[in-house]
Amino acid sequence: MQQQQDRKRLATLTLAALGIVYGDIGTSPLYSIKEVFGGAHHPVPITPDNVLGILSLFFWSLLIVVTLKYVAFIMRANNKGEGGIIALMTLALHKGTPGTWQQKLLVTLGLFGAALFYGDGVITPAISVLSAVEGLEIITPAFTPYIIPITLVILVGLFIFQRRGTASVGALFGPVMVIWFAVLAAFGLLAIVENPSVLAALNPLWGYNFLSANPALGFFSLGAVVLCITGAEALYADMGHFGAKPIQYAWLGYVMPALVINYFGQGALLLADPAAIENPFYLLAPEWARYPLVILATVATIIASQAVISGAFSITQQAIQLGFTPRLEIQHTSEKEIGQIYLPAINWLLLISIIALVVEFGSSSNLAAAYGIAVTGTMLITNILAIAVAVRLWNWHPLRAILGALPFICVDCGFFFANSIKIPDGGWFPLAFGLAIFILLTTWKRGRELLKQRLAEDAMDLKGFVASIGDHDIERVSGNAVFLTQNPGVVPHALLHSLKHYKALHEQVVILSVQVFDVPYVPDVDRAEIHRLGANFSQVVVQYGFKDEPDIPAALALCSEAGLALDMMDTSFFLGRETLIPRLGSDMAYWRELLFIAMFRNAGSATAFFKIPSNRVVELGSQVVL
C-alpha cells in the first residue's frame, strides 16, 4: 500500500515538474534551429553535412550539459534538497574560513551568477512569447504589424496576474506541457519518417566533422546551438519543489526524447525544403494545425515565463534573508504552499525591463544574440561553485574535482566565448543588467557591514551593562520590552535612547537578534536560543534558514516552553531607525555610500517584514556618519 502511494506521489510530482521545470528548455525549439541556419549572426548554410553536424551538436549538448552535468552531477550538490545558484553558493561557503579571499571569491561568483539569472529572467519571457506570436506571420503576413503589440499585451497580462499567484493555474501547467511535448514529438516524427537519414546525426562524428571542417563557422554556430540548453539551470533551481527523482524521470523519460525528435524533425524538413528556414518550427506542422499550434505555443511560453518569474521572486527572497538586498514587500499568494510568493517591486522591474527589451530588439532573432551570454555565464559559475562543494564537503582531492568538472568547463567555455562575440549585437544587455544588479547586491552587503561597524564603535558590552543595572536605582515598569538588534553582544542603541528619555526599564527586557543560516529551513525546535542574563534581562537569538518566512511573534511564542512567557498584548517592540550621513574618505566609495543610503531609505519596514504588530512598535532614531 505504501509503495503504491509512493509511486502515485512520484507520478504527481513528475507531472508537476513537467509544468514548472521544463517550460524554458521546452520552448527552445521555437527559435533554436531557426537561429542557427537563418539568424542574423553567422547563419550556417543549409547543406546535408551541415544539417547533420548541427543536429549532432544539439543532441550531444543536451546529453552532456543537461543530462550528465545537471541531472547526474550538479543535482548531487544540493543544500538539504534545495538547488539554485544562491543555495549552491551557501553550500560552497561551508567549512571555509570567513573573510578569506577564497570565501570572498565564492560570494562574488555566486552573486554575479544570481545577477545574471535576473538578466535571464528578463530575456526568457521576451524571446519565448515573441517567438510564439511570430508564428502568426507564417499563417498570413497581414499579422506582421501586430506581432509586437500582441506580445506586449500578453506579457503585461502575465505580470498583472502575478499578484494573484500561480496556485489557481498551477494545476494546468503539467497537463499543458504534457500535450506540448507530445505535439513536439508528433510533428517531428512525421518529418523524420519522410527523411530518416537525419538519425545518422546521433553519431558524434557528424558534430566533430562539422567543427573540424568549418572551424570559424563552427565556432560561431555554437552561439546559437547553446539556445537548445537554455533553461538547464531550472532543473537544479527547482529541485527543492519536486526533488531530484521527478525531475530526472521527466527529463529522461519524456522531455529529452520529445526535444530530440522535434529538432531532428526540423532538420529533416530543412533537408527536404531549405526555404522552410523562414520558421521551421511552425512549417513542420500541417497548415490546418498552425493556428492551434500558435495558441499552444503561446500558452507554453507563458508557462516558461512564469517559471522564470517565480524563480526571480525566490532568489530575491533568499538574497533578502542572507542580507544581500534590502527588505522588500513579500506577499504570500497561497495558504498551503510557502514557496508561492509575490514581490511587487521585482515584478514591475522585470515588466518594465521586458517591455523595453521587446520594443528595442523587435524580433526573437535579435533577442537570441542577447540570450546566450547570460545562460553560459551562469553555467560557468555553477561549475566553479560545484568544484568548491566537491572539495570542501565531499572531501574530493582538488585535482579530482577539477578533472571531473573539466569536460563540462570546456563545453561551457566554448559556448561562452562563442556568445561573447555577440556582445555588441545585444549580448551587452544581460551583462549590463547583471552588473547593475551585482553592484546593488554588493553595495548593500558592504554598506550593512560598514553600518554595523560604525554602530559597534561606541557600543557598550551587554553583559557588563546588565551587571551594572543592580548598582543603579532604575525604575522598572510593568510589561515586556523587546529590543531588536543586529549585534547580540552589545547594548542596542534603542535601549540606551529609551533609558535616556524614559528614565525607566520594563519589568522584563528581551534583547532579540535574528540569525540566518546557510540552510533552507530551520526546524521550530531550533527556532529560538535563549540566554538568561540576570536582572530580568534575556537574550534571544531567533534562527531562520534562507527560505524560512520570518515571524518574530511566532518565534517568541515558542519561547514559552523554555520559561520565557511573553504576553503579546503587554509587550512593546523597540526598533532603532538610523539616519545615515555620507562621508568622504570612508571605507566605501562616496558614490556607493550615496547608493547605499538611497537603498537604506527605501528599504521595507522591519515591522512588516518580521510580522510585528505595528501598534506594538516604538521606533527611536539616531544619526550615523558612514
Least confident of 144-158, 191-205, 233-247, 410-424: 233-247
Whose CA is closest to 528, among 509, 511, 505?
511
d(C-alpha 200, C-alpha 476), whole Å = 86
Q: Which residues contact residue 79 at a Cβ distance below 8 angstroms, ignoring those fewer than 6 apart? A: 87, 88, 90, 91, 518, 519, 520
Residue-wise pLDDT tens digits, 8-54: 777 777 777 777 788 888 889 988 999 899 876 778 999 999 999 99
* 526-542: average pLDDT: 87
pLDDT of residue 47: 92
Whose CA is closest to 270, among 32, 47, 60?
47
Helices and strands in the chain, H and E counts? 26, 8
> Model confidence at 458, in pLDDT bands (50, 70, 90)?
confident
Residue-wise pLDDT tens digits, 291-328: 899 889 888 888 888 777 877 887 888 888 888 888 88
Residues 31, 230 contacting (CB under 8 angstroms): no
SS3 assignment, position 408: helix
Statement: residue 243 has pLDDT above 80: no
Residue-wise pLDDT tens digits, 124-168: 888 888 888 888 887 778 888 888 999 999 999 888 877 766 544
Residue-wise pLDDT tens digits, 428-449: 888 888 899 999 999 998 888 8
Provide the grid cell at 513.
Answer: 537578534
> Model confidence at 83, in pLDDT bands (50, 70, 90)?
confident
> Model confidence at 377, in pLDDT bands (50, 70, 90)?
confident
Query: What percent of the chain has pLDDT above 90?
Result: 22
Domains of the chain in start order, with CATH, are 17-446 (1.20.1740.10), 460-625 (no CATH)
Statement: residue 345 has pLDDT above 80: yes
pLDDT of residue 200: 94
- Global pTM reads 0.82
Find residue 622's DSSP bridge partners: 578
* Backbone phi, psi, residue 339, to 5°: -75, -10
pLDDT of residue 189: 95
Statement: residue 180 has pLDDT above 90: yes
Provide the grid cell at 116.
Answer: 545574471
Least confident of 61-70, 178-187, 211-220, 329-338: 329-338
Residue-wise pLDDT tens digits, 379-419: 899 999 999 988 888 889 999 999 988 999 999 999 999 88
Across the chain, mean pLDDT equals 85
The neighbour count for residue 73, using CB atoms within 10 Å, is 16
pLDDT of residue 234: 74
Statement: residue 606 has pLDDT above 90: no
pLDDT of residue 211: 92
The neighbour count for residue 16, using CB atoms within 10 Å, is 20
Statement: residue 493 has pLDDT above 90: no
